[in-house]
Structure 1
Amino acid sequence: MSINSVYFLGLGALGAKYAASFYEYKPEIVKVIVNQKRKVRYKNEKIYVNEKEYDFDYITPEDKYNIPDYIFLVVKSSHLDQAIEDLKPFVGENTKIISLMNGISSESILAEHFGWHRVLNAVAYMDAIKIGNKVAYGSIGKIVFGHVNNEFQEELTELHQFMLDANIPNELSQEIQKAQWAKYLINVVANQLSFILEFQYKEFVSNESVLKLMDMVADEVISVGNALGIEIGEEEIKRMKSTLTKVDGEAKTSMLQDREAKRNSEVDEFSGEIIKLGKEVGVKTPCNELIYNMVKAIEKTY
């Protein structure tokens, strides 16, 4: 199988960054799924990634298009239901959907609608910021992906090489659920604390009190994951802290960007999900319950 088409649904900081990377490699294969209103807006305003203008091919269900080989889904968790409806016209028998959404639940929801033979699990590490129609990032980051049952390995190996050719660092993982929980750990810990404290990444490296808070929240995530059979622990905590030293210290997490823009965050997908799963497996999560209610309290002031 040769890869002839890569579509994107969601053109936020992460979606725009990777759409631009594919576009630099083979512009003819990249399309962005939008509604008519958004198509007009993007055409008029353009999208800029690291100050370079990108004129993507925006498509709606009414336009002419081929069924794509891959669709990267990069939307907020609160937009997943609408995204599923938007995806339906574009998903063919052999289309693979790669969810780069935060959290650990989007793939199972997508599989309920499209089947596990069309859904790939993935996580992305990035430090991109989007303000208006402009995206900026210091590091391209890395995508870790795989199939929950390690199926379709020949196709996924081809995708792995294809992304490398497009200068997108990536890893084809045989333990993708563990990899997702390792990234989820960062989201639940750093994203949420940054929202409450209004701190940039640099505070998660040098501030001793922040490091203590990180350990307290991380312990709950690890306990819940272990109770669900996910083998994560101190190694993942150390890796989380190491990862945070490698991103731009002046950059901001997506949740802090949400707060500054007065948008509702993904707290339901982060501490909300940990609280729910903790109750299911009998693990107490007081730190996450405190964070959840603090975030909700702040959001009610918008």
Structure 2
Amino acid sequence: MEIKTVSIIGLGALGIMYAHHFSNVLPKDNVRIIADQDRINRYKKTGIYCNGELCNFNFVTPESAVSPSDLILFTVKFDGLQDAIHSVKNHVGPNTIFMSALNGIISEEMIGQAFGFDNVLYCVAQGMDAVKVNNELTYAHKGILVFGDKEPGTISENVKAVEKFFKQTELPHEIDTNMNHRLWGKFMLNVGVNQTVAVYKSNYGEVQNEGEARQTMIAAMREVLKIADKEGISLTENDVDYWLKVLGTLSPDGKPSMAQDVDAKRFSEVELFSGTVLKYAKKHGIEVPVNKMLYEKISSIESEYVR
């Protein structure tokens, strides 16, 4: 299979970054940005900017009749995933490959339940420091998309097709033959960095340097080690060190998505992070006091928002 067309749904930080990248190297009609008409009207009115450049995206509504896309990339927030799954249906054919750059550890399962698991690749976006404020995205590091098959130790034809496509379009990427381990590792990092930077109302710089915030972040990550062990996932201190090194490559002035949500007084993905940790901790009878504290503090911040 050769990938020529890609559909992207979700114009948050990652969605804009990948849509901008592909739109610069592929024919305009080959990159479809799926959005409802109200959003499209708003995007066209305000414009969307990536590192200061006005984006010229090919918008398509969910109702539009289109040929199947070769690749669909989900870049929505978790609470928008179910709607996104419904919205991409007109873009799906028998050979369409699905990839999700969402946080957490369950989006691939939800996509597979909707469309079948044969063409779902597991994916982790890591190492980017994209910050989106209103309609403007800025980033210093694009990071990489790490992807692979659900079954460990395999490299399917779909993985090879995506690798070829990413090479042709010069998108930084890496193949991992143990994606479940990678997903849990990224989840561990997000549980630590997303929530800590949000609670301390700071940036990557604060958790890159020694101090209370960094200690809180690492303690939250180590609580994920405990629940991962009970779930049969072999995360270790070596994985903590690996993800801290990834964190160390990011712009100190950048912020993770949850901190950006707090700044904008948007409801965050706290249920996806400490909320998930607390559920696993209850299941296995494990104490996770740091994640409990972070959950309570973020919930308290969000309780002050005007609904």
- If the length of structure 2 is used for normalisation, what is the TM-score? 0.94
In the TM superposition, what is the alpha-carbon distance from 1:262 to its structure 2 partner?
A: 0.2
Equivalent residue for 1:279? 282
- 8 Å contact kept, 1:157–1:172: no
1:96 is matched with 97
Q: How big is the shift at 1:152? A: 6.5
Aligned 8 A contact 1:98 1:119 in 2: yes
- Distance, in Å, in 1 between the alignment partners of 2:71 and 2:275 is 30
2:75 equivalent in structure 1: 74
| 1:8 counterpart = 2:8 | yes
Secondary structure of the 1:121 match is strand
Amino acid at match of 1:15: G
Shift of 1:194: 0.6
| Structure 1 partner of 2:180 | 177
* Counterpart Cα distance in 2 of 1:108 and 1:239: 26
Which 10-residue stretch deviates more, 43-52 or 29-38? 43-52
In structure 1, give the amino acid aligned to 2:132: K
Q: Deviations over 1:187-231 (max 9, x none)?
A: 100100011001110111213222321232111101111111111
Inter-partner Cα distance in structure 2 for 1:63 and 1:85: 13
Q: Which moved more, 1:252-261 or 1:147-156?
A: 147-156
Return closer, same or farther for 1:61/1:258 CA change in 2, 3 Å cut-off.
Answer: closer
Whole-Å separation in 1 of the counterparts to 2:26 and 2:215: 46
> How big is the shift at 1:66?
1.2
State the one-letter code of the partner of 2:104.
G
Residue type of the alignment partner of 2:118: H
Shift of 1:246: 0.5
Pick which of 189-198 and 77-86 moved more.
Answer: 77-86
Match of 1:20 in 2: 20
Find 1:142's aligned residue among 103, 124, 144.
Answer: 144
SS in 2 for 1:80: helix
Using the alignment, how far apart are the partners of 1:110 and 1:282 within structure 2? Answer: 30
1:244 is aligned, of 240, 244, 247, to 247
| Deviation by residue 1:98-137 (Cα, 9 ceiling, x = unmatched) | 1100111111122111111132211101110111211110
Paired AA for residue 228 in structure 1: E
Aligned to 1:159: 162
Distance apart, 1:97 and its partner CA: 1.4
Q: Distance in 1 between matches of 2:63 and 2:212?
A: 54
Q: Which residue of 1 aligns with 2:63?
A: 62
Amino acid at match of 2:120: V
Matched letter for residue 7 of structure 2: Y
1:165 deviates by 2.6
Matched with 1:294 is 297
| 1:47-105 CA distance string (max 9 Å, x none) | 21111111111011333421101110011111112112212222222111111001111
Equivalents in 1 of 2:112, 2:175: separation in Å? Answer: 20
Identity percentage of aligned residues: 34
Task: Give the alignment partner of residue 271 of structure 2, picking from 268, 271, 284.
Answer: 268
State the 1:271 CA deviation.
Answer: 0.4
Equivalent position amino acid for 1:146 in 2 = G
Could you tell me the TM-score, scaled by structure 1's length?
0.96
1:210 to 200, 208, 213: 213
Q: Is the 8 A contact 1:43 1:55 kept in 2?
A: no
Unaligned 5+ runs, structure 1: none
Counterpart residue type for residue 250 of structure 1? D
C-alpha separation between the residues in 2 aligned to 1:62 and 1:152?
34
Partner SS for 1:16? helix
Q: Determine if contact 2:121/2:159 at 8 Å carries over to the other structure.
A: no
Equivalent residues of 1:228, 1:281 under 8 A apart: no
**Contact between 1:6 and 1:30, CA under 8 Å: does it hold in 2?**
yes
2:130 to 120, 128, 131: 128
Gap regions ≥5 residues in structure 2: none
1:211 and 1:152 mapped to 2: Cα distance? 37
Equivalent residue letter for 1:58: F
SS at 2:88 equivalent: helix
Structure 1 residue runs of 4+, over 6 Å off?
none
Give the whole-Å Cα distance in 1 for the aligned partners of 2:250 and 2:200: 18
In structure 2, distance between residues paired with 1:61 and 1:210: 42
Q: Paired residue for 1:229? A: 232
Q: Distance in 2 between matches of 1:261 and 1:61?
A: 27
